[in-house]
């Protein structure tokens, strides 16, 4: 299988507000984009690993974590890991920034 890395421009950095989640759809993949207080931007699949699911983009952001808005799981934005006592992991996407453009690498 040939895999090509694609870099997709998704947002202007200056338009993103800190501690907010944005929902994007790239082809069929729903992605939640977060800018945190320290200025970093993270991208995760917009789907909680909780058995009953739910989106993440509307969750409360605290430091480098987001709380799933439906079941309140605490999820690391850095590696997608669900924090104890719950378990699971969300797919993360690489984010790159050039000047004011934010890219997601697929």
Partner 1 sequence: MRKLVMIGNGMAGVRTIEEILKQSPEQFEITIFGQEPYPNYNRIKLSNILQGDTNFDEIIINPLDWYKENNIQLFTGETVANIDVEAKRVISNQGREVDYDELIIATGSNSFILPIPGADKKGVTGFRDIQDCEMIIKSAEQYKKAVVIGGGLLGLEAARGLLNLGMKVDVVHLMPHLMERQLDPIASSLLRAELESQGMNFLMEKETVEILGDERVTGLRFKDGSEVEADLVVMAIGIKSNTAVAKNSGIYVNRGIVVNDFMETSVPNVYAVGECAEHREIVYGLVAPLYEQGKVLAERICGGEAKPYAGSVTGTQLKVAGVDLFSAGEIFEDGSTKSIMIYNEYEGIYKRVLTRNNLIVGIVLYGDTKDSTKLFRMLTKKEDISGVSIFQTECSGSGASDDIASMPNDELVCGCNGVTKGAIVEAIQTQGLTTLDQVSHCTNAGRSCGRCKPMVSSILAHTLGDQFDSAAAQKTSICSCTTISREELVAEIKAKGLTSVKEVMNVLEWNNEEGCTKCRPAINYYLGMIHMDEYKDDRDSRLVNEKMHANIQKDGTYSVVPRMYGGVTTAADLKKIAEVAEKYNVPLVKLTGGQRIGLFGVKKEDLPAMWEELDMPSGYAYGKTLRTVKTCVGAQFCRYGTQDSMALGIELEKKFERLDTPHKVKMGVSACPRNCSEAGIKDIGFVGIDGGWEIYVAGNGGVDLRPGDLLCTVKTQAEVMKMTGAYLQYYRETANYLERTSKWVERVGLDHVKEVLADEETRKALNERMNQTLKKYIEPWNEAIQNEEIQDKYYAQHTIKVGE
8 A C-beta contact, residue 43 and residue 35: no
Q: Which of residues 34-53 bind partner 1 (CB under 8 A)?
A: 37, 51-53
Q: Is 87 exposed, middle or buried (0-12, 13-18, 19+ CB in 10 A)?
A: exposed
Answer yes or no whether residue 102 interacts with partner 1 by CB under 8 A: no
8 A C-beta contact, residue 5 and residue 106: yes
Answer yes or no whether residue 54 interacts with partner 1 by CB under 8 A: yes
* Site residues for partner 1 per CB under 8 A: 6, 8, 10-11, 15, 17, 19-20, 22-27, 37, 51-55, 58-63, 67, 69-70, 72, 74, 84-85, 106
């Amino acid at each position: 299988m040939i895999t090509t890395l694609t870099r997709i421009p998704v947002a202007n950095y200056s338009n993103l507000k800190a501690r907010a989640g944005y929902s994007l759809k790239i082809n069929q993949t729903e992605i939640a984009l977060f800018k945190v207080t320290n200025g970093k931007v993270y991208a995760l699949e917009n789907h909680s690993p909780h058995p009953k699911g739910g989106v993440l983009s509307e969750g409360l952001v605290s430091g480098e974590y987001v709380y799933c808005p439906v079941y309140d799981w605490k999820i690391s934005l850095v590696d997608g890991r669900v924090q104890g006592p719950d378990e699971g992991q969300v797919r993360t996407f690489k984010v790159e920034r050039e000047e004011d453009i934010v890219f997601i690498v697929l």
